[in-house]
Amino acid sequence: MTDDPRPPLWRQLQAVAQLLLDIRQGRSGTAALQAVAAPLRPGVQALGFDVLRNLGQAQALRQGLAPRLPPAPVDALLCVALALLSQPDAQSYDAFTLVNQAVEAAKRTRGVKPQAAFVNACLRRFLRERVALLARAELDAVACWNHPQWWIDRVQSDWPEQWQTILLSARAPAPMVLRVNARWGTPAAYVDALRQVGLDGAVVGAYGVMLGVPCPVGQLPGFQQGWVSVQDAGAQLAAPLLLSAFAPGQRPRVLDACAAPGGKTAHLLETSDAQVLALDVDPARCQRIHQNLARLQLQAKVLAADAADVSAWWDGVPFDAILLDAPCSASGIVRRHPDIAWLRRSGDIDALAVVQARLLTRLWPLLKPGGRLVYCTCSVFRTEGAQQIQAFLCNNTQVRMLPGPGHLLPVNSAPVCASQDNQPCVHDGFYYALLEKISA
């Protein structure tokens, strides 16, 4: 008999509690996960995502068990254990194992060890009074919807008919969607390639394939050769929308502002002969653009620069097309990054809207008359989408808004797929506006 290769559960719970502490202190989940030891990381990510998707309920349960807020490390471990205990059908561990291993984690964690008996008492009380405690927690909106109250209020105000579905969709794991490199072949051809290695996939939109079951990219046929990239179906709309005015063979001069990690840059180059300048303010993230383009055997000019500081990088030659994938709340991709809802604060949205407006104002003069700009955000908030563009239209006379997707919500009512048979929620939440510059 071979030993279980997985790290002990108490170590994983200990690391997930630290992950939650980091997020509560303002560190992104992605960065916090990178700090986790490699052997622990897959288990910590899986458990951590479950915890974050049920954190509102866990916090309400902890409040019911311990009204006085315990020290931060103790509270984090309690919330981790309660989030997992409250969803027994989603776990491969029975409740008593989870409690025992959470207590073991407490005994082995600095700053928590003196409170191990308290952790044990709280968790065992939850097992005894589970039904009553859950019923009480469900009376709280944050516990019910597992988002901060300000977030719930904003989504409800923006989308009075769809708000519940939007919040529910954010708690469900996202599908793994691939973008097929048009220079290699078609989505249908790639579905056949998947079948040959025992994987299932379905065509999504013009360039996408959705996997039946997510898998490591190393298992995907032709990934290292550049046949496919991982990209949400909603994000795959950007390049075709921007390039829709250009005939095959044309070489438009295109600016991809805020381009990292380079998925949309690559899609522009896979589907056209465009001359692309890709900007990103972070030099390290520019390296990601280079790496992605190298794998796909594509070329673009990549600069580390603040897109809004035009004088620092622009050569004075106007662009035929501009893609502005503006910094935003990322409220449309919470199902992929469940830390986002707990990282953001209410004031962040208005602050980000100021950045978005500044980028629009600075980049618009760089566009030729007759040229087109696509403004997009991965957000479900109207402040970062329709309201942002409405304000821009009111303040500019040389702009015409062309037909475009507008707000894409991760609900059944906003499909991006050609087939009616596609599963709902294939895409994340996005906003798209296509603007054309007209002569004065």
Q: Show which residues are catalytic.
A: 378
Residue closest to 22 by CA, chosen among 35, 37, 12, 11: 35
- Structure token digits, residue 219: 């298992």
Contact 385, 349 (CB under 8 A): no
CA end-to-end span of the chain: 79
Question: How many angstroms separate the CA atoms of 44 and 415, rounded?
Answer: 33
